Structure 1
Amino acid sequence: MPAVTGPAERRYLRVVRASAGYDLVVTAGFCTPWSYPLVHAALSGLGDRLGLGTLPALEPAQVLYANLLGSIVVVWAVLRLRRPSHRYGGYDGAARALFALWQATALAHGFAPVLWPFLAMEVAFGVAELAPLAWSRLRRDAVPADSVEPAGASDQGVLS
């Protein structure tokens, strides 16, 4: 991993860490078949109190998928917390775009509106992680061919 070179890069790596921290806090309860029912009940209760609807009743397949998702997201979050990078931020932003797409699809097909705050966070972190990388790539592509590329710039592209 190249050395952090300036304030913009430090800010970006803080965004990558913040998104990882969010994922860890929000997803840790999905990791086990013992904790997920508690998270499910809490989200359903909160959704009911706020008028956002409740989650469907628990079924074994739902618990399994929640545990699989929770496990992989927690591992991915720990990696980004320990070694934040432009590359990981780009991949995470792409994953957030997919998550947001699937969440929006679920909402369009009648899923409980309790999902809206999670969709908002996916979009916000996705934009925060992808926009600086896209902007950096646009700036880099606009540099004349005979100019010198800054050291470490090759690691700053989207999904490079």
Structure 2
Amino acid sequence: MLSVSAFRRVVRASAIYDVLMIAPFTTPWTFLLLREHLNALNVSLGGLPLPVFGPFHLLISSLFGSVVMVWSVLRMLDPQPRFGRYDAAARYMFSTWMAWALLVTGQPVLWLFLVPELAWGLAQSLPLRRSEDARGGHARESLLR
């Protein structure tokens, strides 16, 4: 069990990780640079070359990157436990789709995204220690407060 202050540090750390990882996804130009590196890494891990991205794919990746960037900055500036719980749920959803893509494509580069997603999801799912001054013996921060 984590104290609320320790949990807030986990939420902030996951947000910092996301900012660093997602920044290249926020514009079509930066994503194209990242895609070349991901392609080379995937091939060096034994995978096939990644598919070519057209303008529509770049739009989707940039929209995804932009939304995650805003969400990450919010969690960095205000690392509330409830934001960590919501982020854990989002990470489990992302992990599900990554696992599906891994099963369908077998592309090894997906492991580099899937493992940290699951780890951050688990870290933000840990129970909070009961607060001494909480009313009724419940943790100060609930899932949705």
Q: Same fold (TM over 0.5)?
A: yes
TM-score band w.r.t. shorter chain: 0.7 to 0.9
Residue in structure 1 matching 2:56, options 53, 61, 67: 61
Name which of 31, 34, 37 aligns with 2:32.
37
How do 1:121-140 residues align onto structure 2 when only pairs under 5 Å count? 121-132=116-127
Q: 1:112 to 1:99 in 2, by over 3 A?
A: same
List aligned pairs for 1:74-113, cutoff 5 A.
74-113=69-108
Alignment match, 2:144: 159
Gaps of 5+ in 1: 1-6, 141-146
- The answer to whether the aligner puts 1:119 opposite 2:114 as a matched pair is yes
Query: Could you tell me how far apart the structure 2 residues matched to 1:64 and 1:10 are?
Result: 38
Higher Cα Rg: structure 1 or 2? 1
TM-score in terms of structure 1 length:
0.80
Q: Provide Cα deviations, 1:52-98, integer angstroms capped at 9, x if missing partner.
A: 44321112221111000000000100000000001100110000010
Higher relative contact order (CA 8 A, sep 6+): 2
Where do 4+ consecutive residues of structure 1 move more than 6 Å? none
Distance of aligned partners of 1:93 and 1:44 in 2 relative to their CA distance in 1, 3 Å threshold: same
Q: Secondary structure at the match of 1:56?
A: coil
Unaligned runs of 5+ in 2: none
- TM-score w.r.t. length of structure 2: 0.88
RMSD: 2.3
- Identity level (%): 42
